[in-house]
Amino acid sequence: MRLLVLGGTGFVGGAVVAEAVRRRWSVTVFNRGLHGVLPEGVPRLRGDRTAPDGLAALASGEWDLVVDTWDGAPRKVGAAARALRDRVGHYTYISSGSVYAQPVPPGAGEETPVVVSAPDAEDGDYPANKAGGEQAAVEVFGLRALLVRAGLILGPGEDIGRLPWWLHRIARGGDVLAPGPADLPVQYVDVRDLAAWTLDHAAAGTGGPFNVISRPGHTTIGELLDTAVTVTRSDARLRWTAPEPILAARVVPWNDLPIWVPPGHEFRWMQERGVAKAYAAGLTCRPVAETVADTWHWLQEVGAVPQRAGRPARAPVGLDPAREAALLAAHHGA
């Protein structure tokens, strides 16, 4: 297979490139050339989609498949798709479960309404960008456009820092505020499983939207944090705390305590999406122990979470140590 990756050095794009190289496909990437290191032998076409004539490097060449990880203005997806329409067999757009319009019902499947956007929209918020990007890809490629609606993505290379924050915090040891309940189901996808499923279905010519994420309850917050204690070989003591006092202290789920979204929270749907379609299409998800261990091994190699390729720096995730200490003292006498 001849694969063109638009992006290719960020978290998901890097995993797609690595998986395609593992399969011995012919891989080319197109990006600005400012971030990341490519595997040996992978050529880079340089261009900036936000600049005039920024797609000039794509004026020639033919590929069987394109994977596009863009999360900016939807009209840039449309421009790339039109530039490649006659020289590419299939177009995959890496989208997000964030496209679903609020309020999102638990178990939401691909038929759930999405936010209002347009294929020619300028840069907006993340949900609108992804929804418009989907429309732009479909407008040009129709049934030859695969829309990969990922959810929480974990694994080596993570450039948001959710699982890395937990690993670094637990590695420091001592009493750790563990947000309950311990048996709270967690839904996510390892980036490597996402990449493998995506390339399988791009090669098969699959079209349409898919929620590509594990079944709800693939793991629990308790299993995930216990595994983090094990792989870091830490003396950390998980102090399980009910959601009510944590929320009363204005701790923000997902941001202050990454991955955790408590029962009844307005964003709980993010870990309760319907995945029957993707599983029927062969999605398999590796055990959480493998994801956590491999992420810790990667973190020890790189030292710090990398900056997101091509996007402004984000505010760091994770709970301030002083706030954590106050909550521990109030509820566990630590």
List C-alpha distances in Å: 262 to 130, 183, 221.
26, 11, 10
| Cis, peptide link before residue 103, omega less than 30° from 0 | yes
Q: pLDDT-derived band of residue 310, with 50, 70 and 90 as boundaries?
A: low
Q: Domain boundaries in the chain?
A: 2-153+190-212, 159-186+217-272+287-332
Query: What CATH class does 2-153+190-212 carry?
Result: alpha beta
Whether 316 has a pLDDT exceeding 90, the answer reads no
Q: pLDDT-derived band of residue 312, with 50, 70 and 90 as boundaries?
A: low
**Cα(68)–Cα(271) distance, integer angstroms:** 24
Tens of pLDDT, residues 189-198: 999 999 999 9
What is the pLDDT, as a whole number, of residue 313? 63
Q: Which residue has the tokens 């509820």?
A: 331
Question: What angle do the packed helices 162-172 and 288-302 form, to 10 degrees?
Answer: 80
| 143-148 mean pLDDT | 98
In the chain, % of residues over pLDDT 90: 93
Q: pLDDT-derived band of residue 288, with 50, 70 and 90 as boundaries?
A: very high
H/E run at residue 301: helix 288-302
**Cα(295)–Cα(46) distance, integer angstroms:** 30
Higher pLDDT, 252 or 314: 252
Residue 38 and residue 53 in contact, taking contact as beta carbons nearer than 8 Å: no
Residue 57 and residue 46 in contact, taking contact as beta carbons nearer than 8 Å: yes
Per DSSP, the residues of 192-213 read HHHHHHHHHHHHTT--EEEEES
Tens of pLDDT, residues 57-112: 999 999 999 999 999 999 999 999 999 999 999 999 999 999 999 999 999 999 99
What is the pLDDT, as a whole number, of residue 158? 96
Whether 285 has a pLDDT exceeding 80, the answer reads yes
What is the pLDDT, as a whole number, of residue 333? 77
Buried b (16+ CB within 10 A) or exposed e, 258-282: bbbbbeeeeebbbbbbbbebbbeee
Q: Which residue has the tokens 């479909």?
A: 138
Tokens of 274: 């319907």
H/E run at residue 66: strand 63-68
Q: pLDDT-derived band of residue 307, with 50, 70 and 90 as boundaries?
A: confident
| Cis, peptide link before residue 181, omega less than 30° from 0 | yes
Tens of pLDDT, residues 10-51: 999 999 999 999 999 999 999 998 888 899 999 999 999 999
Tokens of 257: 């305590």
Residue 21 and residue 46 in contact, taking contact as beta carbons nearer than 8 Å: no
Q: What is the mean pLDDT of the chain?
A: 96
Q: pLDDT-derived band of residue 309, with 50, 70 and 90 as boundaries?
A: low
In the chain, % of residues over pLDDT 70: 98
pTM for the predicted model, two decimal places: 0.96
